[in-house]
Amino acid sequence: MIMIGVLVAVSATLVWRRDGIDGVLEILTHDLALFGGILPRVLAGCLLGAFITEVLPHEKVSRSLGPNSGLKGLLIGTAFGAILPGGPFTAYPVAAALLTVGADFGATIAMVVSWTLIGYGRAVAWELPILGVDFTLWRIVISLPIPVLAGALGRFVFVQMYPKGEPTS
Amino acid sequence: MTAALIIDLTLWGSVAALAFLVWRRGRVVLVSAAREGTMDFINIVPRIGLGVIGSGYIAAVIPQEVITGWLGPDSGWLGVLAAVLAGAATPGGPVVGFSIGAVALKVGGGPPQVIAYVVAWALFAFQRLILWEIPFMPAKFVWFRAAVSVPFPFLAAALAMAIGKP
């Protein structure tokens, strides 16, 4: 957090030296507008995360997405990430909620990676218009195995690192 | 504009549907869950604010031409490595990453390299990790996820080379 603050301050100073105060203000107004537009969605994402924590039965989640859920757990995580609506403001709160109710790192990694690589939201809104149909479709086809593989790798590494389960810190 | 509207509708629709499910367990449960979500929101807003408002400055300082140059044509595996590093270093939102990919393709960048770039950027763009993922999730999970994601842009490039597409 402090690191980011310093990075932003340095960048803003560089912009000020290069473009003067107008450059700084232009970026500030643009980003403030962006921030205002995002805020309601962040609130929706946080509510979504809190409600999901309440609604999902912990026992069932740890069975179907927990450390012993096998390939099926990774596939469920992948499918869930692919159909999840919204942007980072929903994906991350929901993923955090899954961790809270008993999903393991592997299944949650599969979900986050699936959301970012094969989720339709960003592909339809940004990638198709900018990079074209051909590139986008092949990029998605090539990405299809990655969420499950990343989840499996994550699960494997996790067990090597913490053979007795996650440390409490 | 319509895409944004659809996103908002599905988003708030999902919130309403889940709120209804929670409400069936009792009004008190709904109120306490809603309060918890709102507290999360209040805690996260300053970090998102710094991130969104600051990212414009970071993006303005890193010139896009530098990143495009790293994705040179016929650059082989060294080019893939450069593409992965460039993907991790690319600041800004979705428009920036995909636009750089498009420019790289236009100026003759190899498709496997651009695939590696887009996948690396989607998986672990440094700025998104810090500004979006860490505020919402346990930091330990975020770094762990980013670390195990490292091999996959290379795998994607290898697959693209193998099938000769796109």
Which tens digit of pLDDT belongs to each residue from A56-113? Answer: 888 888 899 999 999 999 999 999 999 887 778 888 999 999 999 999 999 999 999 9
Determine if residue B138 is left, alpha or beta; phi over 0 gives left, psi from -120 to 50 gives alpha, anything else beta: beta
Residue A88 shares a structural domain with residue A44: no
Same domain, A107 and A168: yes
With a cut of 50, say whether residue A40 has pLDDT above it.
yes
B89-106 pLDDT, tens digit per residue, is 887 677 778 888 888 887
Mean pLDDT of B126-146: 89
Given this model, what pLDDT does residue A55 score?
A: 87
Q: Give the number of domains in chain A.
A: 2
B70: closest CA among B33, B107, B42, B38? B107
Domain of A38 in residue numbering reads as 1-55
State the helix-helix crossing angle for A146-161 and B151-163, rounded to 10 degrees.
Answer: 150
User: Could you say which residues from 98 to 117 on chain B have a Cβ atom under 8 Å away from some Cβ of chain A?
Assistant: 98-99, 101-102, 105, 111, 114-115
Q: Which two tokens stand for residue A7?
A: 């990075």
B22-31 long-range contacts, CB within 8 A, separation 24+? B22/A51, B22/A54, B22/A55, B25/A54, B29/A54
Query: A69 and A47, same structural domain?
Result: no
Residue B148 pLDDT class (50, 70, 90 cuts): very high
Q: Do residue A84 and residue A152 come from a single domain?
A: yes
pLDDT of residue B1: 52
**CA separation for the pair B150, A150 (Å, rounded):** 9
Report the residue from A3, A12, A35 with minimal CB separation from B57.
A12
Question: Residue B21 — very low, low, confident or very high, per pLDDT cuts 50/70/90?
Answer: very high
Tell me how far the alpha carbon of residue A118 is from its chain's centroid: 12
- Return the pLDDT at B131: 80
- pTM for the predicted model, two decimal places: 0.84
Q: Both A95 and A127 in a single domain? A: yes
Same structural domain for residues A21 and A38? Answer: yes
Residues A112 and A83 both lie in one domain: yes
Q: Which sequence spans correspond to the domains of chain B?
A: 1-49, 62-166
Do residue A48 and residue B37 have CB atoms under 8 angstroms apart? yes
Q: Quick count: other Cβ atoms within 10 Å of Cβ B39?
A: 12
All residues of chain B having their beta carbon less than 8 Å from the beta carbon of residue A130 are 95, 98-99, 101-102
Q: Are A42 and B72 in contact (CB under 8 A)?
A: no
With a pLDDT cut of 90, the percent of chain B lying above it is 43
Q: Please tell me the distance from the alpha carbon of residue A77 to that of residue B43, in angstroms, as a whole number.
A: 27
Judge if A3 and A62 occupy the same domain. Answer: no
